[in-house]
Amino acid sequence: MSSARTYQVRTFGCQMNVHDSERLAGLLEQAGYARAADDAPADVVVFNTCAVRENADNRLYGNLGQLKPVKDRNPGMQIAVGGCLAQKDRGEITRRAPWVDVVFGTHNIGSLPVLLERARVAAEAQVEILESLETFPSTLPTRRESPYAAWVAISVGCNNTCTFCIVPALRGREKDRRPGDILAEVQALVAEGVLEVTLLGQNVNAYGVEFGDRSAFAKLLRACGGVDGLERVRFTSPHPRDFTDDVIEAMAQTPNVMPSLHMPLQSGSDRVLAAMRRSYRSERYLGIIDRVRAAMPDAAITTDIIVGFPGESDADFEATLEVVRAARFASAFTFQYSPRPGTPAATMPDQVPAQVVGERYQRLAALVDEVAWAENRRQVGRVLELLVAEGEGRKDGETQRLSGRAPDNRLVHFTPGGTAPRPGDLVTVEVTYAAPHHLVSDAPVRAVRRTRAGDAWQAAQERPADAARPAPVSLGMPSLPTS
């Protein structure tokens, strides 16, 4: 491996992009590349891009500009750009950054190694953008970053037409995997030591629409409950339109489905929701939350909110604040609206002035923190089992803490004492303090449960730095038809 070409994958965007990047890394390692050390230049740099975030293109071209002199000094270096921005901009990337070697889209990430070799042999840029999905991301080889947690894509694409979102145009209409393929992947991951899986989709609870089963998502959650050794199941992101009572029942009745729910609100104003083409209203949204909490009183609910959508009035914004107060979110990702080229909202009249958007954003963020802190204070005194996380520890003065995630996904910093749990192990602690964005346990750890995931983490730490990694896992599942 010492003579292998090295690679680095830089990821921008959502969980689906993170999931895709693990597959890109797996593909490259299967093709003989080695991951570059953190402090060393890579022979191949791959950008997995997002077209949803503000200034996504500026961020990409800024990074590409920084790499140009590096590539000038290293003629054998290659640069590849994939993901949503590549799907959208296509040939524009090589026009603005002609030193890029490969451009590939969201539907053909499996082509990357071949495109890199083709670009090297032909000594010219390769641009390949497919219009339909070639292979589900989860069926490709993977290099997972975590030994204890994994993403599992159950669907890709989206059939909604939200006026602020360009994702359906870039990732296509929804495609659903068959339940047997999903469960086979989950079982394979658990056999490797994974304790937690997150079921992933652009509109995850619409799962089953392609093969005509509206109960498919609830059935899938229950089926995950039957996978021996799978401790935790999560999913993201559901759409309120498709959130049905059978899903709530499956969450409440399946012990390893965690009491956490991330459900985008976007706005609390019915008028703005209609302009966004969000097919629910605030009353329905709050009704779902009420039913979730009736079934799972300790559930933590998080959300996404956009401030300053075109035409948003003071009254519309106040309606959003009212929903935040009523919903009692554990946290919220809040965004200032900015136009995205190619979306209907970008050309709508009555764009809200940036100064007004900024002021509303600050008010919303303050309220979200206030509500989240109040919700966290209710956790003090609770005894929770945490999945110990890697890289989330912190030091307060002389106290060194580790971190873990509670069943409801809250972040808890705890004092390990002499227990020495490893990432992937499970610890039981009592919450002693609450902050707006995390909890703290300074009480003695009540119990440590060592796991196969912890064993896998420890084995990885003990492996010599120059030792070859195990081959990336390929589940050998069928590709999608391209029609």
pLDDT band at 55 (very low <50, low <70, confident <90, very high): low
Note whether 151 and 275 are same-domain residues: yes
Average pLDDT of the residues in 152-157: 90
pLDDT tens-digit series, residues 73-109: 998 999 999 988 888 887 889 999 999 999 998 888 8
Distances (CA, A) of 135 to 21, 118, 209: 14, 20, 19
pTM, entire model: 0.86
The CA–CA distances, whole Å, from 433 to 260, 376, 412, 436 equal 21, 9, 10, 10
* Pair (145, 96) in one structural domain: no
- Yes or no: say if 337 and 299 are a contact pair by the CB < 8 Å rule: no
All residues at 6 or more sequence positions from 267 whose CB lies less than 8 Å from its CB, including other chains: 273, 276, 278, 305, 306, 309, 312, 316, 319, 320
Closest CA to 32 of 74, 75, 2: 2
Biggest CA-to-CA distance, the chain: 65
Across 211-239, average pLDDT: 95
251 and 391 share one domain: no
203 within domain boundaries: yes
| CATH number, residue 441 | 2.40.50
Residue 394 confidence (pLDDT): 66
When pLDDT is averaged across residues 314-329 and rounded to a whole number, the result is 98
Of 378, 334, 342, the C-alpha closest to 360 is 334
Alpha-carbon span 385 to 471, nearest angstrom: 33
In the chain, how many domains are there? Answer: 3
- Average confidence (pLDDT) over 263-285: 97
Arithmetic mean of pLDDT over the chain: 89
Shared domain for 236 and 356, answered yes or no, is: yes
Domain extent for 390: 383-462
Domain presence at residue 66 = yes
Query: Considering the domain boundaries, does residue 244 fall inside one?
Result: yes
pLDDT of residue 464: 62
Instruction: Note the pLDDT tens digit of each residue in 120-141.
Output: 999 999 999 887 776 676 777 8
216 and 164, same domain (yes or no): yes
The tokens describing 112, both together, are 């990357």
Does residue 53 carry a pLDDT above 70? no
Please check whether residues 248 and 162 belong to one and the same domain: yes
Q: Which of 360, 377, 394 is the last residue of a domain?
A: 377
